[in-house]
Amino acid sequence: MTTALITGASAGIGRELSRLFAADGHDLLLVARRLPELTALCAELRERHGVQARALACDLSSPSDLEGLLAQLSGLELAFLVNNAGFGSVGAFAQLAPEREAAMVELNVTALVRLTAAVLPGMLARGRGRVLNIGSTAGFQPGPYMATYYATKAFVNSFSEALAYEVRGSGVSVTVSCPGPTHTEFGAISGVDKTRLFSMGAVPAAGVARAAYRAMQHGEPMAVHGFLNWLIVQVVSLSPRGAVRAITALLNRPPALPAKS
């Protein structure tokens, strides 16, 4: 049996990825803040697929919780690491709670880096293993009214691509999946479900998870989910930065904020 560690597993993309790993016979270490949801998911996966599934309640935005998780991972041989946990916020940066913005960086960036650093050397020593990071199409441009979130995803996208190059030929792969707006709890919690961007066509989490899982299994460095998202990424790369900022601001602006002239 091989074991996968999946963060943010209690809902959304993380939960769907957990089901895919279990269906392929992999044991699971599932991490999230909410123990009841994790426990229920573990029971479902054990009953349906006969795998071992363990729930680890942990707030990865908390440095002490992160250190505790890293201590538990010491000595474990993980075949897969899925860095899925993350959150966002919507609004003008100066009006948002600075503590929450800093916690977003701790979760979306710091925890991802620390977990990857804890797992990747062992994978390289064994000559096998796969890392899947959940980035975003948000990481390809600046994001007014979601400034911190877009910046964290730019880090995830870039960091993952660089690692994918570094480990080539080693038997280990690093993949970053870059979905666009997705129907998960993220939308309601962050407020992004009220924006024009979300209303343009958020997609189900199950499809995003399947595409990410497939890309990871194939060892692809980067996968952008859906043709429309792929096309948008290409257009962004060719467009003037001023236009990209203005259009992204229009799509992200919360309804309560007046448009700037």
Please identify every residue annotated as catalytic: 149, 153
Please write down the long-range contacts of 64-68, taking CB distance under 8 Å and 24 or more positions apart.
66/106, 66/110, 66/111, 66/114
Burial class (CB in 10 A: 0-12, 13-18, 19+), 107: buried
What are the residues whose beta carbons fall under 8 Å from the beta carbon of 35, sequence distance 6 or more?
Answer: 55, 57
Please name the amino acid found at residue 78.
L
Query: Are residues 148 and 103 in contact, defined by beta-carbon separation less than 8 angstroms?
Result: no
Angle at 119 between CA 116 and CA 122, to 5 degrees: 140
